[in-house]
């Protein structure tokens, strides 16, 4: 069967045809992104799998490749292109700033192209190191320790219990901006670090960040999460920055991510109460109601009242909605969860997955995109493939290692 699943199955998570579809899509994506390995390290790719011509490699691209190939290796797919080794070397010898500490944002042909120090990039270093550790990489511990110390010393706002956002290369503050996005991925990285090493402070900090953005902010804002804040951690609804990383308004794709991360945290914490499942469901159902478009796909941004602000239909909110719904189905399935899960996969199969070369297009209609060059990364789509293949809400990397669904 070429499609995403079998309509006669009670749930696609247990449907053999759907599971084979997920495995096939994951393998084809990894095959496509093997071309990221170039003679001098790693490269971002265009839609055909060729290195982009500008030679720029941003920190989140390097780290997400390491993380994704770590998951792939755990799941049983050998990293024949050496992506993990190349990425770990680039992080330590290229992105890592031996003079000022921390990790620079971008390299060009191995030299520093952009020295800004962003929490968003640094938490991805922690994520990459944690996944590399779970995959058994010999250099993972030193990278994890280094990234954790920089996050502690430079970015962690102890009074607020949240991550500050940005500094110059030599650690001078140049804005008062505070954001949800870096903190959300901070939760992702902290939970991965906890799963990799068991240090309880990682789990505690992740829980505090989730409490601030979900129990306090989302609950007070119609279960939509304000994206942007001032230096006193007050929402700044008028802020508009980089259209990819800091668009104006709220971002429903982040509600899906936060819902999944909340359930992962809750599971790791021993399922202490029933608040987290209720909150996760409110985030997911609100985002689906607000953002699903009549022509299919999810709007990129909304205004504070949930009206569509930017109707661009990017791939990553679809992948994150799939992950969040898979988590809800694993925990407490409702009929609408299965309906949405299938609807999202059918849209992805028809509009976003590159059935010719592998990987996902950034928008419907093929490789041409107004916002993204080429195929931006493997990270979102690979997780949408892999996480539904295991039964657990947390420790999914270990579950992939135990079951090895990609081994063949």
What CATH number is associated with residue 396? 1.50.10.10
Each residue's pLDDT tens digit in the chain (408 positions)? 468 987 767 899 999 999 999 999 999 999 999 999 999 899 999 999 999 988 899 999 999 999 999 999 999 999 999 999 999 999 999 999 999 999 999 999 889 999 999 999 999 999 999 999 999 999 999 999 999 999 999 999 999 999 999 999 999 999 999 999 999 999 999 999 999 999 999 999 999 999 999 999 999 999 999 999 999 999 999 999 988 889 999 999 999 999 999 999 999 999 999 999 999 999 999 999 999 999 999 999 999 999 999 999 999 999 999 999 999 999 999 999 999 999 999 999 999 999 999 999 999 987 665 678 889 889 999 999 999 999 999 999 999 999 999 997
* Total Cβ atoms within 10 A of residue 42: 24
Q: Catalytic positions, please?
A: 254, 380
Contacts of 158 (CB under 8 A, 6+ apart): none
* Domain contains 316: yes
* Domain contains 300: yes
What's the pLDDT at 3? 84
Per-residue burial over 60-90, b = 16 or more CB atoms within 10 Å of its CB, e = otherwise: bbbbbbbbbbbbbbbbebebebebbbbbbeb
What's the pLDDT at 202? 98
* Domain contains 387: yes
What's the pLDDT at 109? 86
- The domain total for the chain is 1
What's the pLDDT at 110? 86
* Domain contains 3: no
What's the pLDDT at 244? 80
What's the pLDDT at 372? 82
* Domain contains 7: no
Contact 185, 123 (CB under 8 A): yes
For residues 341 and 326, give the distance between their C-alpha atoms in angstroms, rounded to a whole number. 7
What's the pLDDT at 367? 63
In 220-339, where do the E strands start and end? 228-229, 301-302, 308-310
What's the pLDDT at 373? 81
* Domain contains 276: yes
Contact 121, 103 (CB under 8 A): yes
* Domain contains 218: yes
* Domain contains 227: yes
Q: How far is CA 393 from CA 42, 255, 269, 271, in A?
A: 32, 17, 12, 11
Q: Which residues pair with 173 in a beta bridge?
A: 167
pTM of the predicted protein model: 0.97
Domain range holding 39?
12-403
């Amino acid at each position: 069967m070429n499609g995403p699943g079998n309509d006669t199955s009670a749930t696609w998570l247990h449907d053999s045809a759907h599971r084979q579809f997920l495995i096939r899509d994951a393998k084809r994506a990894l095959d496509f992104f093997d071309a990221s390995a170039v003679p001098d390290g790693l490269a971002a790719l265009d839609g055909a799998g060729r290195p982009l011509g500008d030679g720029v490699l941003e920190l989140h691209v390097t780290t997400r490749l390491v993380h994704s190939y770590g998951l792939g290796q755990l799941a049983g797919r050998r990293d024949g292109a050496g992506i993990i080794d190349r990425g770990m070397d680039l992080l330590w010898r290229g992105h890592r700033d031996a003079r000022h500490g921390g990790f620079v944002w971008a390299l060009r042909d191995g030299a520093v192209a952009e020295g800004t120090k962003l929490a968003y990039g640094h938490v991805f270093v922690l994520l990459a190191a944690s996944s590399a550790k779970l995959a058994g990489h010999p250099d993972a511990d030193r990278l994890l320790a280094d990234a954790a110390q920089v996050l502690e010393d430079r970015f962690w706002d102890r009074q607020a219990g949240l991550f500050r956002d940005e500094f110059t290369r030599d650690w001078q503050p140049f804005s008062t901006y505070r954001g949800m996005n870096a903190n959300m991925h901070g939760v992702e990285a902290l939970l991965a670090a906890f799963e990799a090493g068991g240090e309880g402070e990682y789990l505690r900090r992740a829980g505090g960040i989730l409490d601030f953005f979900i129990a306090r902010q989302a609950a007070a804002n119609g279960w939509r999460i304000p994206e942007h804040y001032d230096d006193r951690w007050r929402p700044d609804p008028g802020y508009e920055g980089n259209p990819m990383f800091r668009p104006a308004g709220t971002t429903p794709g982040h509600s899906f991510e936060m819902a999944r991360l909340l359930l992962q945290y809750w599971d790791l914490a021993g399922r202490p109460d029933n608040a987290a499942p209720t909150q996760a469901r409110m985030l997911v159902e609100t985002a689906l109601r607000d953002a699903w478009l009549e022509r299919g796909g999810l709007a990129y941004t909304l205004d504070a009242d949930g009206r569509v602000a930017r109707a661009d239909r990017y791939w990553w909110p679809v992948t994150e909605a799939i992950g969040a719904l898979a988590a809800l189905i694993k925990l407490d399935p409702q009929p609408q969860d299965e309906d949405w899960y299938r609807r999202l996969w059918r849209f992805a199969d028809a509009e976003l997955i590159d059935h010719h070369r592998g990987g996902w297009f950034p928008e419907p209609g093929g490789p041409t995109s107004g916002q993204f060059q080429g195929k931006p990364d493997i990270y979102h789509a690979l997780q949408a493939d892999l996480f539904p293949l295991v039964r657990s809400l947390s420790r999914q990397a270990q579950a992939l290692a135990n079951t090895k669904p990609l081994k063949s």
